[in-house]
Amino acid sequence: MSRRKFLQQIAGLLASTSVVPLSAAPAKRIVVVGAGIAGLTAAQTLRQQGHSVTVVEARDRLGGRLWTSNRWQQMPVDLGATWIHGAKDNPLSALADRIGAKRLITRYAETTTYNTAGKPLNNAESRQLEQWQARVDNALEAAQNADRDQSVKAAVEKALGWNKLKANERQLVQFILNSTLEQEYAGGIHELSAHWHDAAAAFKGDDALFAEGYQVIVGHLANGLDVRLQHIVQKVVWSDKQVAVQTDRGAFQADHVIITLPLGVLKSGQVTFSPPLPARKRQAIAALGMGTLNKCYLQFPKVFWPQDQDWLEYIPTEAGAWTEWVSLTRVAGWPVLLGFNAAERGKRIEQWTDQQIVADAMQTLRKMFGNNIPEPVDYQLTRWNADPYARGAYSFNSVGSTPAMRDHLAESLGKTVLFAGEATERKHFSSVHGAYLSGLRAAQQIL
Ligand SMILES: Cc1cc2nc3c(=O)[nH]c(=O)nc-3n(C[C@H](O)[C@H](O)[C@H](O)COP(=O)(O)OP(=O)(O)OC[C@H]3O[C@@H](n4cnc5c(N)ncnc54)[C@H](O)[C@@H]3O)c2cc1C
């Protein structure tokens, strides 16, 4: 059976959660480390084939970087991933269709960009921004054809003659680099590889978010699974026959283990392997980047921004400060704005108190919408970089890494230890669908 056909068949099985053993082979004991989407997908697939599967998860909740907050009644908000990026032919759309999960479409066409003074760009300013975008695109295209890799920052600054640019021109270029690259890839422009930062494939179509949050997918995939929450994995002892997963609450023996630890956790060395990981997997862990993207949801007593727009952009004086906002008004009818900080700026503000972050966000919103806007009724914000079980938002291709390193990260150790998770997907890293596909792949390897 082709890989594609096989993945379609097991993805189809995930629509139901009843156990339908397809193989006559004896059941195996399998431990899955991590109850994010990669782990839950692998575990559910294997359980449906009649295997004995236990998921061990450090947190007191399921989902990992899928994390829906229900603190605001009627307004579930996603603190981790929000969208199915490219909903057409995306395997997550097929899964969502099968379980009848309602989705809402946000569109980049509904975007207003505000200048530094807080006014929507006029035609001349929009044209100027487009011209700088074209120069940045040309600079990156030339850098991708160069023999030696370099950072996005180095490539763009060299090509544009950075030292000769005026302050307002630099602000435009910084805005472009932050809003189109740092916010998407979560790595800083000084770290992103000019050759490989955009090496991921994309699905076509609009971006869709779940009306009830990504929790609908998590709940469905976890149905019927044996998940041990608050079990922190410390060590994996493996041989070609068996494997033991040691946690702070005891050890689990298995025929196979699937490791779905985030790249940031693997980098930290907080989980050790005996025998140690092979050199090229260690090199991949060291060289690939783990980026930061933080969210700040603000709930207001009333809507004071354009209700027909999904995206509100701001060109700040400080690089990367609150450049991107999403309004949840047109799609969901909520008086809620979601502001983002990515890469270095995202990391830096994690050190601030909640009040400082909200005050900083409000300063930008006052520039865009005037001093008379109301204070938020409430806020919810994230600190993904400081999260010990994520240590960042998602992986990116940094200078010094190559796409092949993701294959090295995905390689099994003998027949017993398999690897999944967004960072192991060469074509679809940094996404929910990539993590999902990696879970199907790891299950397929065992089956
Ligand atoms: C703010 C933010 C916004 C994003 N937006 C989008 C988006 O809109 N669309 C999109 O496609 N993608 C988005 N992503 C990326 C997406 O969320 C991830 O790619 C995906 O959820 C990763 O799934 P995973 O299963 O690989 O990892 P995880 O979900 O991180 O699962 C790994 C699990 O391992 C657990 N774990 C860690 N350490 C241990 C340990 N020592 N012992 C036991 N368990 C441990 C973790 O707690 C976690 O549950 C976003 C991510 C973030 C943070």
CB 339 within 8 A of CB 361: yes
Compute the distance from residue 80 Cα to the ligand 1 centre, in Å: 7
The reported pLDDT for the residue numbered 277 is 98
CB 140 within 8 A of CB 160: no
| pTM of the complete model | 0.95
User: Which secondary-structure segment (H or E) carries 43?
Assistant: helix 37-48
Asked whether the domain spanning 108-205+293-381 has the same topology as the one spanning 3-66+212-289+400-446, the reply is no
- Distances from the Cα of 100 to the Cα of 40, 75, 207, angstroms: 19, 19, 17
Q: Taking Cα atoms as reference points, which of 101, 82, 79 lies closest to residue 207? A: 82
Predicted pLDDT of residue 109: 85
What is the C-alpha separation between 12 and 7, in angstroms, rounded? 8
Choose one of 382, 394, 428 to mutate for the ligand 1 pocket test, by most ligand atoms within 8 angstroms of C-beta: 394
**Structure tokens given for 106:** 């946000």
| Nearest alpha carbon, ligand 1 atom 37 | 389
* CA-nearest residue, atom 53 of ligand 1: 393
Q: Please work out, in degrees rounded to the nearest 5, the angle formed at the alpha carbon of residue 148 by the alpha carbons of 177 and 277.
A: 90
Q: Which fold has domain 3-66+212-289+400-446?
A: FAD/NAD(P)-binding domain (3.50.50)
Q: Choose one of 55, 60, 65 to mutate for the ligand 1 pocket test, by most ligand atoms within 8 angstroms of C-beta.
A: 65
Q: How far is the CA of 211 from the centre of ligand 1 (A)?
A: 20
Residue in 220, 382, 215, 355 with CA at minimum distance from that of residue 292: 382
Rounded CA separation 325/191 (Å) = 24
Residues of the chain with pLDDT under 70: 1-25
At 5 the pLDDT is 54
Fold held by 108-205+293-381: Polyamine Oxidase; Chain A, domain 2 (3.90.660)
For the chain, which residues make up each domain, given as ranges?
3-66+212-289+400-446, 108-205+293-381
What is the 358 CA–ligand 1 centroid distance (Å)? Answer: 25
Distance 392 CA to ligand 1 centre (A): 9
Please list every protein residue whose CB sits less than 6 Å from any atom of ligand 1: 33-39, 56-59, 64-66, 80-83, 85, 232-233, 260-262, 265, 271, 293, 295, 382, 384, 389-390, 393-394, 421-422, 430-433, 435
Residue 224: partners with Cβ closer than 8 Å, 6 or more residues away: 17, 19, 44, 47
Structure tokens belonging to residue 333: 């009818």
Ligand 1 mean position to 65 CA, how many Å?
Answer: 3
Q: How far is the CA of 35 from the centre of ligand 1 (A)?
A: 9
| Each residue's pLDDT tens digit, 23-38 | 556 799 999 999 999 9
